[in-house]
A and B are shown apart, each in its own frame.
Chain A
């Protein structure tokens, strides 16, 4: 076998990171996206700007600020220190925090679009059929936003798998702890181990492509069924 043990460990860390990040993002992103799609608040664009920031910011910039804030001398890292916990820099927790911020727009934006597309009518109908606000959200909004959830899940996952700059800055490329696939590929190339790099890169390419076409195919089916 061409792949080494560190390769497999990096593989496991990457997918664990992407899985946890996606779960956290769905959990936090759903209420945020719902609020953004429904609020009439004048300054909601401020929040939309913050959510979209990781799309345009160089990952190293985000990573740098995270390193500063989460480090032992930073405001949040210091708080960890004060509570007798290890600051999250150079740990898996740090990777998760960084990934959540970095992939935020990839989860929130599809959800927000999906919630906006539902409109108010179905929810009003549900209200006249005795459904409370939470009941309406769970039984009408979420099922109708299903294509949005699928897109959000896959994009959030795939984007986390593909990140490089943020994880390098905040995780520091520690094998077995914070070394992820994209970084190990870089290391292989650095050491001119092109065969390793080919196997890993090709695998990621196919995987990402497969995830994306699955989303598009399924969403097309949903749309056809619902129209």
Chain B
């Protein structure tokens, strides 16, 4: 099952023209520079923005097809805006209940109590929005959007208007959403960090058009796309916790690319984690090094090499079907005589974990 989105929105000088199929589970990030139409796309999906013709199907229900257009209030979705936008005249409890009351009882699948507990807002219920901090407001806004048991959750840069501290406070809640509820999320962002942490599927939008779309790990490592370049270039690898070494306080993580050894984390064996490996933390060698302090060394093949400025190259490697990025100097690449299909060893200096 997938969500089909085929929409056109025309404004004076701007045309959004999108034809997309995105998975009906997990988090799909819409990523692009400001002004590329991310918000307009989200608004068109929600029905807040009028779109010409087009076709929109979510969860087996057609929301829009030619002249048949469901108005926003008939679409079973949740929307989290950039600013929390709580109703100023209602306290938190009544903000939360506003949507719930308007959903037929048979369609209420998520209990308000559960959401309130999950987002830790019990102590705020009787307060007016004006007495909440920015982070608290956004938590209430997320709770309010979930409370209508949506079939699709739309989030428009929900962290962009918050300071760094509130952002760190909210991110874990958003990460927990798709584990707790089986609701597809479309998440608009222009932060690579948020995308890497949250997204399963990524859509790149530029000047109102989709330039590329695909699974997040592929998209981050595609050398023809901007994400694989620059200081923050990184690869994502899905792994499972396979065991702990009590003696050395280490944790073993198994992935399709091989076994990673990391400093002990309080993780349950069998739980899945997402590894982020920055391109600048990967070095390459032709022979496996045994006398090295680096724990994580994997055989890999060179897929593609592209220059990164004058002095460096970015290399896409394949290790057991999992792509990995390495950023090294052009000189090293030439001395190692790197070219596509060459077998090499990737040494991973540092791994960061997302659970």
Are A and B physically bound partners? yes
Q: Mark B68-100, 1 if CB is under 8 A from A, else 0.
A: 000111100111010101011100000000110
By beta carbon, the residue of chain B nearest A129 is B99
A26 to chain B, nearest CB (A): 19
The total of Cβ contacts below 8 Å across the A-B interface reads 63
Is A125 in contact with chain B by the CB < 8 A criterion? Answer: yes
- Determine if A143 is an interface residue (Cβ-Cβ < 8 Å): yes
- Do B73 and A125 touch across chains, with their CB atoms under 8 A apart? no
Q: Are A122 and B130 in contact (CB under 8 A)?
A: no
Q: Is the CB of A125 within 8 A of B85?
A: yes
Do residues B87 and A128 form an inter-chain contact, with CB atoms below 8 A?
no
Question: Is there an interface contact between B78 and A122, defined as CB atoms closer than 8 Å?
Answer: no
Instruction: Please state if A128 and B88 are interface contacts (CB–CB under 8 Å).
Output: no
Partner of A130, one of B81, B83, B103, B128: B103
Question: Interface readout for A99-130 with B: 1 if CB under 8 Å, 0 if not?
Answer: 00000000000000000000001101111111
Contact status B48-A129, CB under 8 Å: no
Shortest C-beta distance, B312 to chain A (Å), equals: 45
* Contact call A127/B148, Cβ cutoff below 8 A: no
Among the listed A128, A140, A143, which residue makes an inter-chain contact with B145, where contact means beta carbons less than 8 Å apart?
A: A128
Cβ of A132 under 8 Å from chain B: yes
Q: Given contacts A128-B48, A129-B98, is CB(A140)–CB(B79) below 8 Å?
A: no
Known A128-B77, A128-B79, A130-B148; contact A226-B98, beta-carbon cutoff 8 A = no
- 14 other A-B residue contacts (CB within 8 Å) besides A128-B73, A128-B78, A135-B102: A121-B81, A122-B87, A124-B81, A126-B73, A126-B87, A126-B98, A128-B99, A129-B99, A129-B144, A130-B102, A135-B73, A140-B87, A226-B88, A227-B130
A–B Cβ pairs within 8 angstroms, 18 of them:
A121-B85, A122-B85, A122-B88, A124-B48, A124-B81, A125-B87, A127-B47, A127-B72, A127-B73, A128-B48, A128-B79, A129-B98, A129-B148, A130-B99, A144-B87, A144-B89, A146-B89, A225-B128
